Structure 1
Amino acid sequence: MTKALSGIKVLDLSRVVAGPTCTSMLGDLGADIIKVEGPELVDETRTWFPPDVEEISLYFMAVNRNKRAITVDLKTEKGIQIIKKLLKEADVVVENFKTGTMERLGLGYEELKALNPKLIHCSITGFGHTGPYKHLPGYDFIAQGMSGFMSVNGTPDGEPTKAGIAMADLYTGLYAVISILAALQARNHTGRGQHCDISLLDSMVSSLLNIGTGFLNTGNLPVRYGNQHPTLVPYQNFNTKDYEIIIAVGNDGQFERLCSLLEVDELSRDERFATASARIMNREALIPRIQEALLTKTADEWLTAFQENNIPCGPINTLDRVFEDKQVLERQMIQEVEHPQVGMVKLLGSPLKLSDTPVTIERHPPLHGEHTEEVLLELGYDSQEIESLMEEKVINMKIASSSSIPINQ
């Protein structure tokens, strides 16, 4: 089956989360992803367990499907020559080295452009390739804090809180994918590749959306609202007779219908609550009245009634409920893939639903060095040359278990 990115070859020099998230998504879309690790020093996430299956990291599996894995020592001249041969044939290279590292390896953008003018070079760093912070290391947690995201996340009387998932890494990986797809489209017109400079801090600052725009134009520092919304009321979690649900009222009509179902119609006629602006100013008086009414029925009773009356709502699910949800199952958000070392493993499905070129998982998350020989043979190396590279420790085709893999320094 021809897929959306069939015929596109991507050299993946990235590790940890943001870069591998990007390349895994490109792989989902059909690109041939060649993931490069050192013969001994590998992607750290291979060592991040538990959770694991037979000491194979599930963290690594989450962001490294649909890839082939090879080992190359970039500290050797012969290793750099292998990379250059791969780059001559590649459409895209994705890396998340510190600013300046690619230049020290002789693989900076100007060198790569001379080697392959059509190559798209996507760099993922903490702070980008310009500015006073460009040489500093960057991590998801740091980007969440420096961007201001944590200052508006959490309860009003609690501490600034990071997201429970690697939000900066995820956003950065997604923006990297977008930049690469845009560069591929531009190349169709110009015949030239380009450099995509994507950073964790930029990605998280961009995520501030209305909150950031509000501050820029008013100068007012936003406060933390916890699970409430700064400009929509009621828009938060509430207790019911058994467990919590979310109600997300977005307009006055929805509020009127909510009040009718709760049998508190007088609230929708009260000038303190009749309009969206009024509800914002008087949320402290409104929320307890709604909460009191909701305690009279179970969550399922309320959710059914609200859904039937077009009031946005939903449960606050634990993961066991998520992966039993009929909508999640219908949308194929659980995928199974055969892994050569541990058997069948379950992975998250792709949110990309394409009618003509559907996204599929063609390759399991690769073992360390699993495809080194295969890729080198494709590059034109013969068996004797590959054996020699093994002896010189430029490559390593030994498939190691995670428990024996040292962590990158």
Structure 2
Amino acid sequence: MMSPSSSLPLAGIRVLDLSRVLAGPLCAQVLGDLGAEVIKVEHPKRGDDTRDWGLRVGDTETAYFNSMNRNKRSVTVDLQSPAGQELVRELAKQCDVVVQNFKFGGAEKMGLGYEQVRAVKADVVYCSVSGYDRHGPEAARPGYDLVIQGEAGLMAINGEASQPPLKFGVAAVDLFTGMYAAQAVLAALFDRQRTGKGCHVELALFDCGLMVSAYYGLEALLMRKDPPRYGNAHPSIVPYGVFDAQDGPLIVAVGNNAQFERFCTEVIARPDILQDERYGTNLARKANRDTLVPLLLQEMRARPRKLLLERMSAVGIPCGEVLGLFEALTSPRAEHAGLVTKQPHPVAGSMDVMAPPYRMDGTRMPVRLPPPVLGEGTREVLETLLGLDAGRLAALQAQGVIK
């Protein structure tokens, strides 16, 4: 079994992960990163859908799968069979948390819905992730990140004003939903300590997608219309965005009037810009961005990026390079922080696995287990938690219930 460490916050908590793809698995991964023992139940032949998405690692993993499934064990069970359903109910008895994102009503059909699990584990914290509000008219609609990005208005605020609606580069709604779900599960576990009662935690992708809109959403409500799109620029702060230097792009984030004064005098040597009443305050700069930004671009394009970055850093103006993703992952900054780890793999030899982003008392949460090969923990988990002997395991495998 996974070796729990008493120094980790969720040591002693066991999670049954019945979910697949992104939002549910991310929720369970977060709990695993914080020390919980996570048992991921997968189909004996196919496993999680994402084992077949993106670039292959070994025989049963992909980079896509690996990004959401570190610090877990994989147990293969056919949930379409009555024997498989009974096995998972027995596992649920041994778990504190259950995470699932089956289609609406799917868990109930398998005898694994909230009420059915609560009947065998009264204080379970049960997390359901769906596409839409499970208490509304669209409860049965399947949820997909791209669809939700469109329906939640996120594509309409992304990209340049001259472009058509644009999705985020990653599945942002799935990722936010997974994080919101983990937060809610943690709150439910905390409440269980005080009351002894479990809870049904429910998350909908659409609900979380609207939350991602943040200040844009509230501005849309105030204006009673869509806010304009600014691409890499900021809707309220100028200059703030990506600008071209002589030899490449850089990020400038002038956050207040004092920084703007230093930018004009110390960075681009244009104190005259400060004398123009159109640019004296941020509100004025926002209203006159169409004339100000070309002036600033002209000055930045005349200077090398390194010089601009050095000058801004020297006077406390937030700034940075625009790196490629590979550059960022292999940068000294990422290496020093220990954000990318090498983990052993039985086929590939080793593989890259992201480290958890959390530090506790200065120590980063560890990668205790790399993303699992399909079914690697089936025998050990069923033997240890359910007491199944070799004969029973062999019979279940012969029936196709486990692999």
* TM category, shorter: over 0.9
Residue segments in structure 2 that go unaligned for 5+ positions in a row: none
Q: Is the Cα–Cα contact under 8 Å of residues 242 and 299 in structure 1 kept in the other structure?
A: yes
Q: 1:281 aligns with which of 276, 279, 287?
A: 287
| Residue matched to 2:397 | 390
Residue 15 (str. 1) matches residue 56 (str. 2): no
| Residue matched to 2:150 | 145
TM-score, normalisation: structure 1:
0.94
Task: Tell me the CA shift for residue 51 of structure 1.
Answer: 5.2
| Residue matched to 2:324 | 318
Residue 31 (str. 1) matches residue 36 (str. 2): yes
Task: Tell me the CA shift for residue 214 of structure 1.
Answer: 1.4
AA at the equivalent of 1:381 = L
Residue segments in structure 1 that go unaligned for 5+ positions in a row: 397-409
Q: Is the Cα–Cα contact under 8 Å of residues 61 and 373 in structure 2 kept in the other structure?
A: no
Q: Is the Cα–Cα contact under 8 Å of residues 173 and 212 in structure 2 kept in the other structure?
A: no
Task: Tell me the CA shift for residue 356 of structure 1.
Answer: 6.8
Residue 229 (str. 1) matches residue 248 (str. 2): no
Residue 262 (str. 1) matches residue 275 (str. 2): no
Q: Is the Cα–Cα contact under 8 Å of residues 151 and 223 in structure 1 kept in the other structure?
A: no
Task: Tell me the CA shift for residue 99 of structure 1.
Answer: 1.2
- The superposition leaves residues 200-257 of structure 1 with CA deviations (integer Å, 9 ceiling, x where unpaired) of 1111100111111112233132121111111111111111010100111111111111
Tell me the distance in 2 between the aligned counterparts of 1:312 and 1:363. Answer: 37
Q: What RMSD in Å do the two structures reach over aligned CA positions?
A: 1.4
| Residue matched to 1:406 | none
| Residue matched to 2:179 | 174
Task: Tell me the CA shift for residue 377 of structure 1.
Answer: 0.4
Q: Is the Cα–Cα contact under 8 Å of residues 99 and 128 in structure 1 kept in the other structure?
A: no
Tell me the distance in 2 between the aligned counterparts of 1:191 and 1:80. Answer: 27
Residue 238 (str. 1) matches residue 243 (str. 2): yes
Q: CA 1:140–1:118 in structure 2 vs 1: closer, same or farther (change >3 Å)? A: same
Q: 1:217 aligns with which of 198, 215, 222?
A: 222
Segment drifting more, 52-61 vs 168-177: 52-61
Task: Tell me the CA shift for residue 341 of structure 1.
Answer: 1.9
| Matched residues, number | 396
Q: 1:354 aligns with which of 353, 357, 360?
A: 360
Q: 1:183 aligns with which of 178, 182, 188?
A: 188
Segment drifting more, 23-32 vs 41-50: 41-50
Q: Is the Cα–Cα contact under 8 Å of residues 10 and 91 in structure 1 kept in the other structure?
A: yes
| Residue matched to 1:206 | 211
Q: CA 1:168–1:217 in structure 2 vs 1: closer, same or farther (change >3 Å)? A: same
Q: What is the DSSP-based 3-state SS (H/G/I as helix, E as strand, rest coil) of the residue aligned with 1:182? A: helix
Segment drifting more, 324-333 vs 156-165: 324-333
Q: What is the DSSP-based 3-state SS (H/G/I as helix, E as strand, rest coil) of the residue aligned with 1:127? A: coil
Segment drifting more, 213-222 vs 163-172: 213-222
Q: What is the DSSP-based 3-state SS (H/G/I as helix, E as strand, rest coil) of the residue aligned with 1:142? A: helix
Q: What is the DSSP-based 3-state SS (H/G/I as helix, E as strand, rest coil) of the residue aligned with 1:345? A: strand
Task: Tell me the CA shift for residue 323 of structure 1.
Answer: 2.5
Q: Is the Cα–Cα contact under 8 Å of residues 11 and 35 in structure 1 kept in the other structure?
A: yes
% identity of equivalent residues: 39
